[in-house]
Amino acid sequence: MAQYSRIEVASVMKETGMVPLFYHPDIALGKKVLKACYDGGARLMEFTARGDFSFKVFLELNKYAIKELPGMILGIGSITDAGAASMFMQMGANFIVTPSLREDIAIVCNRRKVLWSPGCGSLTEINKAEEMGCEIVKLFPGSTYGPSFVKAIKGPQPWTSIMPTGGVTTETSNLKAWFDAGVTCVGMGSQLISKEILDNKDFKGLENAVRKTLETIEKLK
């Protein structure tokens, strides 16, 4: 079961301001990526369930995080149905991220008090997600909507917490635009954990990139 409650997860998302996203079928490489992000200061990681037998990789990474990385909160992304959400929660997923708004996933996550963050693309979807108990809404794909969309939503609904994923980079100007608009945190995948870093196994470079990005976010919040 989850090691962290949904309130604890939401608090860490707000405090750190960033959720790294990552997928790779190699368990050993995944552990090194997880460790590099942890050493760089990240305390959250979304493992995206996009490949065959990804549940086996996630299980080993979560056991590694629990044993070796105190305070590291591992969750699962790209979940599209309640069955998958339930399976990963059995493996200890601390939060569930989905590409779209699905009530069946909300129900199974709320039953276990596990944070779920659904992909939303309209004010109507955001309102529906919040009515179903969502703490932090995922704006997806963020590149389609941009910071101006977030700013428009926060006007009438300052209580809404938004995490854009897609369209977020490590550049200061990009991060400033998002946080000035009022996002709670950002999800960042290949712009942070790039193919080049993985191919070259540049884990020290990844650690430094995570640290620098978190420092930038801290200054902007």
What structural domains and CATH numbers belong to the chain? 6-119+184-214 (3.20.20.70)
Specify the pairing of strand 18-22 against strand 186-188. Answer: parallel
**C-alpha–C-alpha distance, residues 43 and 156, integer Å:** 31
Between 50-54, 88-92, 185-189, the lowest mean confidence (pLDDT) is in 50-54
What pLDDT was estimated at residue 28? 98
pTM above 0.85, yes or no: yes
Mean pLDDT of 132-145: 96
Is residue 151 very low, low, confident or very high in pLDDT (cuts 50, 70, 90)?
very high
Is residue 53 very low, low, confident or very high in pLDDT (cuts 50, 70, 90)?
very high
**What is the overall mean pLDDT for the chain?**
97
Query: Token pair of 69, please?
Result: 């990385």
Helix axes 172-181, 142-154, angle to 10 degrees: 40
Per residue in 60-81, pLDDT (tens digit) is 999 999 999 999 999 999 999 9
What Rg do the C-alpha atoms of the chain give, in angstroms?
A: 16
> How many angstroms separate the Cα of 196 from the Cα of each of 45, 60, 165, 201, 203?
19, 24, 20, 8, 11
Helix axes 27-39, 54-68, angle to 10 degrees: 40
Residues 6+ positions from 132 with CB-CB distance below 8 Å: 103, 106, 110
Mean pLDDT of 126-131: 98
Mean pLDDT of 180-194: 97
Residues 6+ positions from 171 with CB-CB distance below 8 Å: none
